[in-house]
Amino acid sequence: MAPHKYITLQPTGDKIPLVGFGTARIPAAETEEVIYNAIKTGNRLIDGALLYGNEPEVGKAVRKAIADGIVKREELFIVGKLWNNYHEKQHVKPIFQKTLDNYGLDYIDLYLVHFPMATEYVDPNENLGFLNPKKEFKIVKAPLQDTWRELEDLVDAGKVRNIGISNFNVQSTLDLLSYARIPPSVLEIELHPYLQQKRLVKWAQSQGIQVIAYASFGNAVFTKFPPGTEHLENLMKHPVIVSIAEKHKRDVGQVLLAWAVQQNVIVIPKTVKVERMKSNLDIDHVKLDDEDLQKIAKLEANARFNDFFESTYGFDFPLFA
């Protein structure tokens, strides 16, 4: 069942589906089949990134779906992300071209700055990550203003429709807005009932920046947990979420997605199972009431699972402090 709801992006007026599909942590060997099935099931928003190591396979699936007549290119909304090692202005356009070549498309719909930090250049044919080949975490002096100018050039050239940011807070976004000729259309952040980020979401939306949530299922999608979060119950099994799901005769995943979508937040759940793809899309009829929302509000734990601690990423960096 295809999503019926879209949000309009500024400044282009492009429409982005409220429910899409994420490509993180899908093994490259499985990606083409998974993404093809996702599109066949009705997904029109595909959220990808160079870091995920499966862009070429995402591209094959997209092109196959178009060639098979399942979808037209203009009906799809394809996302890519600029990795940390390529913020220096001389690297932005070449690495974007790599993403475009990987996808095998003429343009992409949205290109995001993956994290608000610039790290030392690494050959893109190496294994990408947060550390350089010497296993060091090294920040470089690459002002985001210079990076952003390069992204604006890509928009001017017609290679990118919209540009945006990911994992930014209000301070870093506010600084960007002070010089951006083309403002960010989207902010993608970790968002789930254990990390609700209500003030950030409200402020971003007030600035005309739409929000995409990643990790909508919270700690259920992670294998390593930052200090202080290990005790939290698997969000997909939490009694509050389970009881709300039973009340609405829906599954817990649908409740978690509907919770975000009711805030006009875009969701990009990932699954390899076609039945789950269908149920994740089929959330139009899940209407959480005030009682449900109040119960979920109480689950706030300020628990960020995608944080940079030695125990989770092999280095310590307080990006979100």
Q: What is the pLDDT of residues 12-23, one digit of tens each?
A: 999 999 999 999
CB neighbour burial string for 50-81, b if at least 16 within 10 angstroms, e if fewer: bbbbbbebbbbbbbbbbeeeebeeeebbbbbb
Looking at residue 127, its pLDDT comes to: 85
d(CA 213, CA 230): 22
Strand partners, 160: 108
Structure tokens at 284: 């139009």
Annotated catalytic residue 103: no
Neighbour tally for 243: CB within 10 Å: 14
State the catalytic residue, choosing from 6, 36, 52, 121.
Answer: 52
Q: Are 52 and 99 in contact (CB under 8 A)?
A: no
Q: Which of 52, 33, 35 has its CA nearest to residue 43?
A: 35
Looking at residue 4, its pLDDT comes to: 58
d(CA 111, CA 164): 6
DSSP assignments along 293-306, one per residue: HHHHHTT-----SS
**Is 114 assigned a ligand-binding role in the annotation?**
yes
From first to last of its 321 residues, what are the pLDDT tens digits of the chain?
A: 444 599 999 999 999 999 999 999 999 999 999 999 999 999 999 999 999 999 999 999 999 999 999 999 999 999 999 999 999 999 999 999 999 999 999 999 999 999 999 999 999 998 899 999 999 999 999 999 999 999 999 999 999 999 999 999 999 999 999 999 999 999 999 999 999 999 999 999 999 999 999 999 999 999 999 999 999 999 999 999 999 999 999 999 999 999 999 999 999 999 999 999 999 999 998 999 999 999 999 999 999 999 999 999 999 999 999
Residue 257 DSSP SS3 = helix
Q: Which CATH class is domain 6-313?
A: alpha beta
Neighbour tally for 107: CB within 10 Å: 16
Q: Which of 84, 81, 96, 147 has its CA nearest to residue 121?
A: 84
